């Protein structure tokens, strides 16, 4: 039995992530899905809570009827890269192999002696979280970039409305500051 690990922010869970999960399901029987930056929500860069992202992933994986058992584990950021892999391991079931296309994540796992697999990006010109969020903000078609079950969760929580509202308070435009700021700033 082998168990894999795949981490992302999944803001939101899109068809590129889903294609990765489908590919990983061909390799392993169980998959731990790390919900990265779990402490972040209600900003333009990270609009959805860890729980909402878990709903998107759980429902999308279930709808796809993949031959795999998944565990979604929220992982808060730890601003110390050198010990981040230990932090991840402390929160998760044990895993044999990690999957990532993020160069920093790949490096950190390899330096910890963990096998890492990367794959080519799927339609990266559109399958990118920032593109999906931008389309949500602008009223463009984002649904075609997201599994139907994940789009239904976005609808259920009025995710587009939230993103637009926190976006309208993002006065400095850096995408991270959707929360209420000190008005004197």
| Residues near ligand NMN, by CB under 6 A | 7-9, 36-37, 77-81, 84, 100, 102, 104-105, 108
**Among ligand NMN, ligand ATP, none, what does residue 79 contact (CB within 5–8 Å per kind)?**
ligand NMN
Contacts 24+ apart (CB under 8 A), 50-57: 50/74, 52/153, 52/157, 52/159, 53/9, 53/10, 53/11, 53/12, 53/13, 55/153, 56/10, 56/12, 56/13, 56/147, 56/149, 56/150, 56/153, 56/154, 57/10, 57/13, 57/17, 57/33, 57/150
x/- track of binding to ligand ATP for residues 130-169 (CB under 6 A): x---------------------------------------
Q: How far is the CB of 182 from ligand ATP (least distance, A)?
A: 26
Run of H or E residues at 60: helix 50-64
* CB 111 to ligand NMN: min, Å: 12
42: DSSP letter: S
Binder to ligand ATP among 4, 5, 8, 43 (CB under 6 A)?
8
Q: Shortest approach of ligand ATP to residue 105 CB, angstroms? A: 6
Residue among 11 and 170 whose Cβ is closer to ligand NMN:
11
């Amino acid at each position: 039995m082998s168990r894999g690990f795949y981490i992302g922010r999944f803001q939101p869970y899109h068809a590129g992530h889903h294609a990765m999960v489908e590919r990983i399901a061909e390799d392993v029987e169980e998959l731990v899905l790390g919900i990265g930056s779990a402490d972040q929500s209600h900003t333009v860069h990270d609009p959805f809570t860890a729980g909402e992202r878990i709903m998107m992933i759980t429902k999308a994986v279930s709808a796809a009827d993949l031959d795999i058992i998944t565990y979604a584990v929220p992982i808060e950021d730890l601003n110390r890269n050198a010990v981040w892999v230990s932090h991840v391991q402390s929160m998760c079931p044990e895993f044999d192999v990690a999957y990532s296309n993020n160069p920093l994540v790949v490096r950190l796992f390899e330096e910890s002696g963990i096998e890492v697999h990367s794959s080519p990006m799927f339609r990266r010109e559109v399958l990118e979280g920032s593109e999906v969020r931008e389309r949500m903000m602008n009223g463009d078609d984002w649904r075609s970039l997201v599994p139907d079950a994940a789009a239904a969760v976005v609808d259920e929580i009025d995710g587009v409305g939230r993103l637009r509202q926190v976006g309208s308070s993002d006065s400095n435009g850096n995408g991270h500051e959707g929360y209420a700021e000190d008005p004197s700033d």
